[in-house]
Amino acid sequence: MSYTEVPGAQVPIRMWTDPAAVEGVAMQQLRNVATLPWIKGLAVMPDVHYGKGATVGSVIAMRGAVCPAAVGVDIGCGMSAVRTSLTANDLPGDLSRLRSKIEQAIPVGRGMHDAPVDPGRLHGLATAGWEDFWARFDGVADAVRFRRERAVKQMGSLGGGNHFWEFCLDTDDSVWIMLHSGSRNIGKELAEYHMGVAQKLPQNQGLVDRDLAVFISDTPQMAAYRNDLFWAQEYAKHNREIMMALSQDVIRREFKKARVTFGEVISCHHNYVAEEQYDGMDLLVTRKGAIRAGGGEYGIIPGSMGTGSYIVKGLGNPASFNSASHGAGRKMSRTAAKKRFSTRDLEEQTRGVECRKDSGVIDEIPGAYKPIEKVMEQQRDLVEVVAHLKQVVCVKG
């Protein structure tokens, strides 16, 4: 489908979904964003749903300003995926051992490594710039600098919520590794600190929603936020790189006879800010629950833990600011999912997938998410499908 345009106070709201199907609180959030005086465009992805501060599944283009809540607290959260030389025929009938080995190698939930991961010992992982990256931590906000030890030990860890690691098969029976994570606790603390700073600034008094507080270009507060934001986005990228390298080490050991090789890793943020140009204007484009889908650029759009996921190529649609959805998108809150579904429902909906099937992950049950096939159908003018994946192992935080 092409987009539907809904009137907004400063700019029209371009929606790659039926506006009538969007929950009322999310629609109000979008209308609030469209009142910001700095906004130059607002695109809404088919996986749109209510989020803290700003709507998940929204792409906000502003000139000379950026809204921290429109990035979210998991700065740089995103996906990585790689195709392996393994095929379905190489897999054992019982995949529980593999899941256990991955859970041993990659801490989940609030966990962290006992000692910092040395990237130099990981096969094929580039280490150039690693020392400089950590040296730049000394320049982040004083309020979170004391978290360095935790940040170092959480590098290479999955986290909780909707973060996951998966072993998948594509339609040709090739095996893929796919994972979803971000900047862990350090990104959250940086985000919350700067949101608090923004809400006290003069330009943000009287906004329709205080969560939409912005930083303005050429101010010390904007400079400080950009420094910490881009550092956290880099942390998230490195975090996924280390987990992918740890995963590959596990796969090499578990499938030693197969002499496994790996293709080029695809990686994309879906909670982040980028400096981009549209209509001759330099804009700050915030994607919260959206990936960049420039012409020919690879991206990853996952479904829920019992459905499928997609490797895609962007079509470079400027109407969406070269963006596409970041996944299936929730259709009910975590609280509602826990009330609605049981562990028996979870077992049924994840049949054939080696994964947790206990009450601790009911909020991630496939039934709590929108159908990924419909989401893909609604963005045919944003991406083309390269590969359709179905998980056979899912590790949840």
Judged on CB neighbours under 10 Å (0-12, 13-18, 19+), 20 is exposed
Residue 1: what pLDDT? Answer: 56
- Annotated ligand binding at 58? The verdict is no
Can you tell me the distance from the alpha carbon of 106 to that of 180, in angstroms, rounded to the nearest whole number? 12
Determine the distance from the C-alpha atom of residue 45 to the mean position of all C-alpha atoms in its chain, rounded to a whole number: 14
CB contact set of 130 (below 8 Å; sequence gap of 6+): 119, 238
Instruction: Judge whether 162 is annotated as a binding position.
Output: yes
Tens of pLDDT, residue by residue over 238-274, are: 999 999 999 999 999 999 999 999 999 999 999 999 9
Give the model's confidence band at 125: pLDDT under 50 very low, under 70 low, under 90 confident, else very high. confident
Beta pairing class for 13-15 and 78-87 = unpaired
DSSP letter string, 246-265: HHHHHHHHHTGGGT--B-PP
Question: Is 57 known as a binding-site position?
Answer: no
396 is in an annotated binding site: yes
Mean pLDDT score across all residues of the chain: 96
Residue 262 — left, alpha, or beta (φ > 0 → left; ψ -120 to 50 → alpha)?
Answer: beta
Residue 126: pLDDT band (50, 70, 90) is confident
Query: What integer pLDDT is reported at residue 293 of this predicted model?
Result: 98
Question: Does 51 appear as a known binding residue?
Answer: no
SS (H, E, C) 120-142: HHCCCCCCCCHHHHHHHHHHCCH
Q: Report whether 328 belongs to an annotated binding site.
A: yes
Q: Which tokens go with 389? A: 């994946």
pLDDT, mean of residues 283-294:
98
pLDDT at 37: 95
Quick check: 231 pLDDT over 60?
yes
What percentage of the chain reaches a pLDDT higher than 70?
A: 100
Q: Check the annotation: does 123 bind a ligand.
A: no
Q: Could you tell me which residues are beta bridge partners of residue 268?
A: 79
271 assigned ligand-binding residue = yes
**Closest listed residue to residue 326, CA positions, set 363, 369, 278:** 369
Consult the annotation and say whether 163 binds a ligand: yes
pLDDT per position as a tens digit, 152-181: 999 999 999 899 999 999 999 999 999 999
Question: What Å distances lie between residue 197 and 54, 224, 329, 384, 395, CA to CA?
Answer: 17, 10, 30, 40, 36
pLDDT of residue 299: 98
Q: Is 264 annotated as a binding residue?
A: no
pLDDT at 178: 98
Mean pLDDT of all residues in 134-158: 96
Residue 303 assigned ligand-binding role = yes
Write out pLDDT tens, residues 308-321.
999 999 999 999 99
Q: Is 180 annotated as a binding residue?
A: yes
pLDDT over 70 (residue 347)? yes
Per CATH, the number for 72-268+294-331+369-396 is 3.90.1860.10
| Residue 174 half-sphere exposure toward CB, CA atoms < 13 A | 16
Task: Provide mean pLDDT across the span 5-20.
Answer: 97
Residue 321 annotated as lining a ligand binding site: no
**pLDDT tens-digit readout, 209-229:** 999 999 999 999 999 999 999
A 10 A CB-CB count for 296 gives: 10
1 and 377 Cβ atoms separated by less than 8 Å? yes
pLDDT band for position 53 (50/70/90)? confident
Q: What is the pLDDT of residue 128?
A: 81
223 Cβ contact list (under 8 Å, min separation 6): none
**What is the set of active-site residues?**
326
